[in-house]
Structure 1
Amino acid sequence: MHSLNQQITHSLNQFRVTTMPKLLASIVFNLLFVFSSTIAQNNSEPDSLKNISLAGLSFRSIGPAITGGRVIDIAVNPFNHSEYFIASGHGSLWKTTNNGITFSPVFDGNKSYAIGSVEIDPTNPNVVWVGTGENKNQNNVIYGDGIYKSEDGGKSWKNMGIENSEHIGGIAIDPNNPNIVYAAAMGSLRNAGGDRGIYKTTDGGKTWERVLEISEYTGCYEVHMDSRNSNILYASAHQRMRNLYTGVYGGTESGIYRSLDSGKTWDKMKSGLPSEDVGRIGLAISPVNPDVIYAIIEATKDDKGIYRSTDLGISWKKQNSYISSYPFYFQKLYCDTKDVNRVYSDDVFI
């Protein structure tokens, strides 16, 4: 197994040797085509086009525009289910108070319009946390500027830090002490370092401590908390890097990590799980029985699929080979609230 830096160097060198001549030839051809087409148009422009009057026409904006993109996350008010927030990949944050009949944008005044996660305080629905930056690793990804907090139901927001995370894909709030919050930071897609891993605050976001650090190229997509015991945490880590020409979408550092002491120490879960060339991982804890955990794992053909643990993540058994059609976009799981054996996955095709 080559190191990540060796993989990147090899890919870039291979691009320079095999691709650059083709790229230059393509650019020259297209420039010549545009030039010749322009000459032809100038020499053959009919007189009728020159005499058209535009007086009766009105102009309207046709772009560029910011599209909504994918629905990334949903947070429902636990005390009023007709009120919830919708997080969009690059369409900001929306709120409904009438069960989805109408929606209002509530995050437009901030620096970032790319959202990776949204979470409502389980004890106070006026407190809402938002992680900015898309939670994917496609080439056109839009980054964010940290984690935000609202204390008035989304009317106003304050940036609470972790600004160099660029992509925050998960937030977990301690129901016993809502000043304790965990954030899963993926870090920059194109550069090493930055804020990546699992971060924890014990003072409502005033200060943060990185409690899980893996490497300069490996961050965390998700963080989950056992509903019975807030000391038990699970995190999904992903080793990835991308630039214009090539990318690394997985490695040995990707995996499922567990803490039994509120993030002080972490162990990588290994029994029954793939160990090499692992990509993005989605996690879900069953609310019916939190001993049961599901994972959807991007890996090699034989190892990819849905995995299940019935002993708090100690051991795992593969259930099937399904993963999302596009794991770099969609790779999340959702457990049924009544049936421990039923689990849902997001995807592109219906």
Structure 2
Amino acid sequence: MPACSRVRLAPRFRLTTQERDRDVVRSVLPPHTGVPGWCLSLAQRLWVLPALALMTVPRPAAAQETEQILGRMEYERMRLYSGAERNLAVLLQSALRQKRAMPPGGILPMALVDTRWRALGPDRVNTNGVFTAGRVSTVAIHPTDMNILYAGGAQGGVWRSDDAGANWRPLTDQECSLAMGSIAIDPVNPDIIYAGTGEQHFSGDSYYGCGVLRSLDAGETWEQQGVQQFVNKSERSGGARIARVVIDRATAGSATSTTVLAASTFGLFRSTNSGLTWSLVLDGLATDLVVHPTDPSTMYAALYGNGVYKSTNTGLSWTHTSTGMNLDIARRINLAIAPSSPDILYASFQTGESKGDGLTMYRTANGGTSWQELPATGASCYYQCWYDMTIAVHPSNPQTVYFGSLRLHRSVTGGQTFSLHHNGIYVDEHLLVFDTLRGANALYLANDGGVYRTINGGTSWTSLATNLAVAQYYRGIALHPSIAGITLGGTQDQGTQRSSPGTGVWQKIMGGDGGYTAFDVEDPSIWYAETQWIRGAGYAGPRKNGVLATRGIDNGERGLFIPPLVMDPIDSKRLYFGTRSLYRTDDSAERWERIYRTPDDGEVITSIGLTPSDENTVYAGVLRGQVIVTRDGGVTWQQSGSGLPDRFIGDVVVHPDDPEQAYAVAGGFLTGHVFHTVDGGRTWQDRTGNLPDHPVNAILYDPADLEGVFIGTDLGVFHSAAGGDSWDRLDEDLPTVAVYDLAAQPGTSRLVAATHGRGMFEIPIDVPLSVRVRPGAIVDSVLTTDTTAPRDVIVAPSGKEDYAATWQATSDVSWLVLTGGVGRG
């Protein structure tokens, strides 16, 4: 077993130049580049991700997708930075408990106004006639009814279809985690479902889990299990990610005595009481688990970098059975068993850089006693089997094998040769599942585009994306300046998308990972967007109507994976773009001019704040807790004064009427998340108040009441009517999911929230939020109608001298104007 002595950690946001250039850099990279799983905890992998992302060595074109994934990893690592030795999954669960204990406030239901969040979709995304949804990690088929399916989104939760995937509905919007890794349905009592949370794809944006969710009523309600084993262990990257959940067929059907196993990043766990308690039965990073089709006591497990193990007593004990495998090059491992010949198994190995494309495949014909390496000619990892890899064997022909990574391949020669079988499906394949109820050639596929089904062995595929709203939006959404219902947004791997009024079908208008967007308010037919920023890539940077517009921008500079791109609220021909430098264009992106450059290559612009009250005032957030300010259009710059934390500044917003006032928000789980300045950034005051301690990603002044602000966080949306003195949760019908951006459109009285896993949502904000409170709250004044009215209107709580209320009625209304209040009919 090789030594781990050369593993080193990056304590802050990046490695030094000297560390990057040493030949030991491969020892500090994430698992896809060669570090054995037993050497590095997932936490350590998370903190050294920038090593590869910052290197500028040219890579093959086939590795472009890997560059995107690595860029996302670095972006998320910086956004979530919380110091050393902190379990982020535990901290997030603590913040969730704090949130749930807060009284509901802000916009809440009243008799005559529907002020709940409403889903905007996308219900599906049209890419030149091919429909997609977003990243789906897992899919499960009902054991007796082929029309009932379950799917798990990367951060979209569990979904159910009752019509074979024609339509979907969410089941876990308010649960402890919407990041899904595996779903298992009890074969005896299909109303019992286990969902393993935490996406085990070794990607920085694979969000934390919260253990196992169990439902006893086909997904209508859920209970959390395994907190101690899957959440509370010390792990800086967060709780365990669960790759596979398996239910023992011999004991299935019980809510108290079924044996269940879960393969997780903390090891392989076993429960004999239907998930109520769990015990560790195999130590290591468990990446897969398969069961003998006729002997449920026989199981095979894969451990990252450590080969295959076999159990003949339903997982109670395990024997290493990897003879013939080269474990020196092994990293992630996936398994498939041949249902018609269960002594035949296939194992796909992600093998780092040692074999070029990083794929080695093995086959056993004697139940794991010995393994033979296969040529697997024609199959490829495309440099990213650490992120997406799946393998499956035909139910009646052990020679037919399907293998998916970036693309899907099929072998009819027992793994000797493979041919590309990627017909009309999206990339990044995560799971293959045969549907024997529908036929031997029926197969489901979960990938970065959603869920697909074939009934002819993959000759053709049907997209099952309708109503599967699992899009992962980034910062920088844009609302059409005059037409409600038209929105732009950039997504994870689903490009830049545009909505249209009256339909949930969005159009994909640009590829890659999308980012910030903007409409020209004077001519909305002109729009701006960007693809992900990869240092040195010729395709990266701002685009105008889809055409690259980067003249004057140095693409060799370091920048965020999703760099800020913001339009001036006064002059729509003027835009700002930030990498290491802050750039400005005054001619609609025909040419850009550098107006600021950070003194350190490790510092990048993270956010940009502008105000219609002064076109020369610009605020810009810088990576490690700085906000720089210019009042002369970029000629001179002021560094931020005291009060800001040394963390990621995700957003800056400037008061529309006063350029000396602004808010900045910080990521991570350390103290302090919302900060306010009244002196142009010279000093900052912490306005976090009673807000739960978790990352804040976006902030927006309430356009109906500039004393109020909205924030988007990793747990949804909050509102403060008094500039952060106190906060209310704003979550009626909003899933418990990370909100990356907020946008308001005063002309149409709506607030839009862009989530990273559940699409977009909107809520009306046509009157000040302080008047819309739940009946029963402490009030200053109560306005009542005559005795025929269905309810009271409550106007309060205290905090302002004046209130405004909107009342709708079918007949004349008489108003009682109270002291200090205003009635408006």
Aligned to 2:363: 308
The amino acid across from 1:311 in the alignment is N
Q: Pick from 246, 252, 255: which aligns with 1:172?
A: 246
CA distance in 1, matches of 2:294, 2:215: 26
Q: Secondary structure at the match of 1:324?
A: coil
Q: Pick from 297, 301, 311: which aligns with 1:235?
A: 301
Further displaced range: 299-308 or 110-119: 299-308
Aligned to 2:389: 331
CA RMSD of aligned residues (A): 2.9
Structure 1 residues 12 and 311, CA gap change in structure 2 (3 angstroms): farther
Is structure 2 residue 170 aligned with structure 1 residue 105? yes
Offset, 1:262: 2.4
The amino acid across from 2:307 in the alignment is G
**Which structure: larger Rg?**
2
Q: Secondary structure at the match of 1:175?
A: coil
TM-score norm. by structure 2 comes to 0.32
CA distance in 1, matches of 2:189, 2:240: 27
Offset, 1:151: 0.7
CA distance in 2, matches of 1:8, 1:69: 35
The amino acid across from 1:254 in the alignment is N
Offset, 1:10: 7.6
CA distance in 2, matches of 1:114, 1:331: 18
Aligned to 1:86: 151
- Contact 2:154 2:206 (C-alpha < 8 Å) held by counterparts: no
1:268-279 alignment runs, 5 A limit: 268-279=320-331
Structure 1 residues 220 and 68, CA gap change in structure 2 (3 angstroms): farther
Q: Secondary structure at the match of 1:235?
A: strand
Q: Deviations over 1:150-202 (max 9, x none)?
A: 1111111111113325200001111110211111011xxxxxxxxx1111111
Is structure 2 residue 270 aligned with structure 1 residue 200? yes
Q: Pick from 332, 339, 342: which aligns with 1:290?
A: 342
- Contact 1:69 1:90 (C-alpha < 8 Å) held by counterparts: no
- Contact 2:179 2:206 (C-alpha < 8 Å) held by counterparts: no
Offset, 1:61: 11
Aligned to 2:214: 149
The amino acid across from 1:347 in the alignment is S
The amino acid across from 1:170 in the alignment is R
CA distance in 2, matches of 1:2, 1:310: 30
Q: Which one has the bigger helix percentage? A: 1
- Contact 1:254 1:280 (C-alpha < 8 Å) held by counterparts: no
- Contact 1:95 1:106 (C-alpha < 8 Å) held by counterparts: yes
Offset, 1:7: 3.1
The amino acid across from 2:260 in the alignment is V
Aligned to 2:15: 15
Q: Deviations over 1:251-279 (max 9, x none)?
A: xx421111122223222222221120311
- Contact 2:359 2:381 (C-alpha < 8 Å) held by counterparts: no
Structure 1 residues 7 and 91, CA gap change in structure 2 (3 angstroms): farther
- Contact 1:306 1:323 (C-alpha < 8 Å) held by counterparts: no
Aligned to 2:262: 183
- Contact 1:235 1:256 (C-alpha < 8 Å) held by counterparts: yes
Q: Deviations over 1:16-60 (max 9, x none)?
A: 352689x9xx9xxxxxxxxxxxxxxxxxxxxxxxxxxxxxxxxx9
Offset, 1:113: 1.0
Aligned to 2:652: none
Offset, 1:80: 0.2
Structure 1 residues 80 and 177, CA gap change in structure 2 (3 angstroms): same
Offset, 1:128: 0.7
Q: Secondary structure at the match of 2:15?
A: helix
Aligned to 2:141: 76
Aligned to 2:292: 226
Structure 2 unaligned blocks of 5 or more: 22-49, 55-117, 122-131, 232-238, 253-257, 408-421, 423-825
- Contact 1:226 1:233 (C-alpha < 8 Å) held by counterparts: yes
The amino acid across from 1:18 in the alignment is Q
Aligned to 1:131: 196
The amino acid across from 1:225 in the alignment is V
Aligned to 1:212: 282
CA distance in 2, matches of 1:107, 1:61: 15
Structure 1 unaligned blocks of 5 or more: 27-59, 187-195, 239-252
Is structure 2 residue 313 aligned with structure 1 residue 261? yes
Structure 1 residues 155 and 10, CA gap change in structure 2 (3 angstroms): closer
Q: Secondary structure at the match of 1:148?
A: strand
The amino acid across from 2:355 in the alignment is K
The amino acid across from 1:172 in the alignment is V
Q: Secondary structure at the match of 1:15?
A: coil
TM-score norm. by structure 1 comes to 0.74
Q: Secondary structure at the match of 1:18?
A: helix
Higher RCO (Cα < 8 Å, 6 or more apart): 2
CA distance in 1, matches of 2:347, 2:20: 40
Q: Pick from 230, 251, 255: which aligns with 1:163?
A: 230
Count the aligned residue pairs: 283
